[in-house]
Structure 1
Amino acid sequence: MRVDIRSLRSEIEDQMKLHGYNLNKVAELTGINAGNLSMVLNGRSRAMTIGQLDALAEVFGKAPGWLYELYTEECISDNKLSRPRIIPYLVRCAEIGRVDCIEPVVSKILDNPKNASIIFAAAEKLFENGRLEESGRFYQQVVDNIKDSFSELMAISQYRLFLIAQGTDEEKNWKSVIQFEPFRRRLPEYLQLAALLKLAKVCYSLEKINEVEKFAEELTELSSILYKLKMVEEVSVERPLIYYFGMGLLFEGAALEKRGLYEEAKNVVQRYADLSWFEPLDELGWKEVEKFNGFAKANLYTLEVFMGNDGILNEYADFLESLDRLNETLSGLTTIINSANIHGFCVDHILQRFAGAIDQFDCFVDDLINSRRYLWFCYHRAVYEFTKERYENGIKETIFCISLCLEMKRYEDLARSVVLFEKHRNYASESQVQYYESIRLWVV
């Protein structure tokens, strides 16, 4: 049923009478120019903006979203859509939860699928404002209604949905990778760089090493091509081009490390140890050069330790302490304790040295990359305690690791931790066994 456009204005006029306000008084209270307000209320040549309606609602003491159900006539008239009014309207409806107003308007807009660009514009505005969940609903509408899978709007919408989906739920993260992957090459170049890096990061957190290698190599290759084409400044929208080139190499090296190909990984690390040749370099670019030099030092220590060089442990610990960054400490200690289990090192003195930092690692529970590292650290520490025959500590660490796995829905890690507990079950106290049995029920 079509609502007469005057219904919106008659409601406003009723409120003016109720409060005893004339037009000049309303103009004063709302900050709207009196002449403009007159034309808006009389419906002559000037439609009302959603901002003006919100200002009127505030003056009359009404809740946000007042008369939104009547505002659609300002946006759609005689089957003509007004982009300048309909996009802010959809954004505001989403922000205040007026879903009842969104659905009929979106349906009307999408009577012609070519109008999906309007929905996309609203989604982008919400995304920029940090309203990810709300923007996701609009991006999904774009995906569902654009038939051309090679459309740039389709590709960007798929990319945004991929970003929005990321969290600590592994299954959801992997599903989002599968959904987005076919669209990565259809993005504008500056978004391709950011997307390939994000794909590499997510897959690294999921231990999908083949995919990490693939996306990292694509990132390095694309960065190199753009550099050779002298497009450094043109594509450095989010971060400098040198950053994406360096991160591509970093993840290539990380993938080789995961495969145990340490010498090959060293060769890749050496490639980003000195990126000063990447010209032109402004102040921000030189900072990236220094940053990757630091990454290279840390990763060369990592590779040496994994290769069994225990003589470098104290030097590595000094390096981690000099960085004074908790995430680097977590990464380094995970390497050290894992290597201790592989090669039989004793690293008690290092664990004691970083006891204060270790107590803070629980802040990484919701972090995409570091939450997995935190789990690895806990698991390897449990193994380490068992190898040192400190069984009570080992059981305690294992149970904690199991509870973390359940919280993060890391089921592969959970299975590994359960096996570790069962292997040492005879060393657990009665209360520890009872607690273990109670949390294991969550999986059933």
Structure 2
Amino acid sequence: MKLRNFSINQLADLTGINQGNLSMALNGISRSLTISQLDALAKVFGKVPGWLYELYTEECITESKLSRPRLIPYLIRCVEVGRNDCIDRVVSKLLDNPKNVKILFAVAEKLYQRRKERESERFYQLVVDNVKDSFSDMLAISHYRLFIINQGTDAEKNWKAVIRFDPFRNRLPENQRLDALFQLAKVCYTLQKWNEVDEYASELVELSTTLCCDEGPAPKRHPVYYYGKGLLYKGAVLERRGLYDRAKDYVLAYTNLEWPEPLDKSGKKEVEKFRVWGKANLYLLEVLSGNEKMIGEYADYLQVLNELNDIVSGLTAILKSANMYGFNVDGVLSRFFGFIDRFDTFNNILILADRHLQYRYQKAIYEFSHGRILAGLDETLHCLSLANEMNRYEDTFHCVSLFEKYRESASVQQLETYRSAMVREEVYI
């Protein structure tokens, strides 16, 4: 203040801090400044964000006192400005008393709600590492958040995340259990863990109908959404097992969703989504059952939907059917050429990356079966690249087997690409 020739009154005006409070704080008469007030002072004095934070730790926690109202905003600001040194000091002191884990959990939740999921991960992990009561809601929620945060396209990591979280799914508050079961089913679907998908889907159907009239805290989405998703995944498991007639029963059930109570606007929107998905999946099942006449009609419907997600799923089914029954679908593929070129935009999105991989594999088989060997090898290499990126070891094996079958026809460039892929995976060729 002396260097800038500021009076208390001027500084109060510039920072927005009450003049009386500022005067008493600076003279040590009253409670210290809040972290937002310290930030305001830093801005006025031209200092970088995080200025004097190393001193502010003592305003929040000492051997004799702890101020939760100050600690939580302080730790959040430390995260935002990158003052990890201050976080380390506070965490070290907090963990001297196991009860203080609640503060770390509160920080994690606030960061998560602000969509700072990666920043919240450290605090959730601290909760998991330090809560000893295995039936604690705080522990279960932390495991759930870590499961969500760590979802990606790496199959190995995703399966480990499922294993870690699974024992805690039934210890969550009921309104969060629905979304947790849905997330577990979704991840296991991409991992082709059909027994697990079926189990989680059954729990999803049962719990959503149980909670439909519950007056407790609302789940993330309308319960009818989770009910429909449970039916969808049960049908999808049967479809992937080749049980198309049985799968159709589930598709019809979520195409014409019935709910035990009147639906509000959000519920009606969810029901309409399932009607659209159901119609598309009825076409899909007909095509997979070998109904060649339905392929053109299904392609027309996909074009009307004009959704990249639906198109990659639909074209994969059409190719799979063509491979099983010897159909020629070149005309259909040419209709969606522009969309196919955009499939690589899926590669960082869990379930869409899985669908893209399945498309490339079926496309490779289709090309080989029609005598287009070089094109088939290109598709196989594309699929192999996706499988490697996602740590999908079984899919990698299938791609290697497919390439080896036609290896003698590969171009020099294709062989070089193949060898490079195998070196990255430390596979000896």
Q: TM bucket by the smaller chain?
A: over 0.9
Q: Which amino acid aligns with 2:169?
A: R
Q: Which amino acid aligns with 2:243?
A: L
- Tell me how far apart the structure 2 counterparts of residues 343 and 235 of structure 1 sit (CA, whole Å): 51
Q: Which residue of 2 aligns with 1:10?
A: none
Contact 1:72 1:105 in 2 (8 A): yes
Q: Which residue of 2 aligns with 1:371?
A: 353
The 5 Å alignment of 1:9-28 reads: 16-28=1-13
Q: Which residue of 1 aligns with 2:255?
A: 273
Q: Which amino acid aligns with 2:7?
A: N
Q: Which amino acid aligns with 1:59?
A: V
- Tell me how far apart the structure 1 counterparts of residues 290 and 109 of structure 2 sit (CA, whole Å): 50
**Equivalent of 1:136 in 121, 124, 135:** 121
- Tell me how far apart the structure 2 counterparts of residues 225 and 130 of structure 1 sit (CA, whole Å): 30
**Equivalent of 1:308 in 269, 286, 290:** 290
The 5 Å alignment of 1:100-119 reads: 100-119=85-104
Q: Does 1:351 align with 2:333?
A: yes
Q: Which residue of 2 aligns with 1:162?
A: 147
Structure 1, residues 363-422: CA drift from partner, whole Å, max 9, x if none?
100011010110110111011000000112111111222222223332221111111111
Q: Does 1:329 align with 2:314?
A: no
Q: Which residue of 1 aligns with 2:193?
A: 208
- Tell me how far apart the structure 1 counterparts of residues 417 and 338 of structure 2 sit (CA, whole Å): 27
Q: CA deviation at 1:283?
A: 1.4
Contact 1:216 1:249 in 2 (8 A): yes
Structure 1, residues 29-66: CA drift from partner, whole Å, max 9, x if none?
11112122122222323221111111111111111111
Q: Does 1:362 align with 2:347?
A: no
Contact 2:179 2:219 in 1 (8 A): no
Q: CA deviation at 1:431?
A: 2.4
- Tell me how far apart the structure 2 counterparts of residues 110 and 392 of structure 1 sit (CA, whole Å): 61
Q: CA deviation at 1:142?
A: 0.7
- Tell me how far apart the structure 1 counterparts of residues 97 and 286 of structure 2 sit (CA, whole Å): 61
**Equivalent of 1:148 in 127, 130, 133:** 133
Structure 1, residues 169-225: CA drift from partner, whole Å, max 9, x if none?
111111111000000111111110110000111111111111111111111110111
Q: Which residue of 2 aligns with 1:400?
A: 382
Q: Which residue of 2 aligns with 1:441?
A: 423
Q: Secondary structure at the match of 2:263?
A: coil
Q: CA deviation at 1:305?
A: 1.2
- Tell me how far apart the structure 1 counterparts of residues 125 and 37 of structure 2 sit (CA, whole Å): 30
- Tell me how far apart the structure 2 counterparts of residues 397 and 51 of structure 1 sit (CA, whole Å): 56
Q: Which residue of 2 aligns with 1:11?
A: none
Q: Which amino acid aligns with 2:211?
A: L
Q: Does 1:247 align with 2:232?
A: no
Normalised by the length of structure 1, the TM-score is: 0.93
Structure 1, residues 215-237: CA drift from partner, whole Å, max 9, x if none?
1111111011112xx22x64434
Contact 1:64 1:96 in 2 (8 A): yes
Q: Which runs of 4+ in 1 moved over 3 A?
A: 233-237
Q: Does 1:421 align with 2:403?
A: yes
Q: Which amino acid aligns with 1:29?
A: L
Change (3 A) 1:75 1:160: same
Q: Which residue of 2 aligns with 1:94?
A: 79
Q: Which residue of 2 aligns with 1:3?
A: none
Q: Which residue of 2 aligns with 1:47?
A: 32
Structure 1, residues 16-40: CA drift from partner, whole Å, max 9, x if none?
1222212111111111121221222
Q: Does 1:172 align with 2:157?
A: yes
Contact 2:235 2:247 in 1 (8 A): yes
- Tell me how far apart the structure 1 counterparts of residues 245 and 29 of structure 2 sit (CA, whole Å): 76
Q: Which amino acid aligns with 1:347?
A: V
Contact 1:242 1:278 in 2 (8 A): no
Q: Which amino acid aligns with 1:152?
A: D
Q: CA deviation at 1:324?
A: 0.9
Q: Which residue of 2 aligns with 1:36?
A: 21
- Tell me how far apart the structure 2 counterparts of residues 397 and 77 of structure 1 sit (CA, whole Å): 63
Contact 1:269 1:299 in 2 (8 A): yes
Q: Which amino acid aligns with 2:307?
A: R
Structure 1, residues 45-99: CA drift from partner, whole Å, max 9, x if none?
3221111111111111111111111101211245321111000111111122211
- Tell me how far apart the structure 2 counterparts of residues 176 and 160 of structure 1 sit (CA, whole Å): 11
- Tell me how far apart the structure 2 counterparts of residues 285 and 235 of structure 1 sit (CA, whole Å): 16
RMSD in angstroms over aligned alpha carbons?
1.3
Structure 2: 5+ residue runs without aligned partners?
none
Q: Secondary structure at the match of 2:2?
A: helix
- Tell me how far apart the structure 1 counterparts of residues 206 and 273 of structure 2 sit (CA, whole Å): 21
Q: Secondary structure at the match of 2:333?
A: helix
Contact 1:235 1:241 in 2 (8 A): no
Q: Which residue of 2 aligns with 1:320?
A: 302
- Tell me how far apart the structure 1 counterparts of residues 408 and 255 of structure 2 sit (CA, whole Å): 49
- Tell me how far apart the structure 1 counterparts of residues 185 and 20 of structure 2 sit (CA, whole Å): 56
Structure 1: 5+ residue runs without aligned partners?
1-15
Structure 1, residues 251-301: CA drift from partner, whole Å, max 9, x if none?
111111111121111111121111254422111111111111111111111
Q: CA deviation at 1:133?
A: 2.1
Q: CA deviation at 1:109?
A: 1.3
Q: Does 1:261 align with 2:243?
A: yes
Contact 1:276 1:286 in 2 (8 A): no
Change (3 A) 1:245 1:175: same
Q: Which amino acid aligns with 1:199?
A: L
Change (3 A) 1:299 1:278: farther
Q: Mean Cα displacement is larger for which, 35-44 or 56-65?
A: 35-44
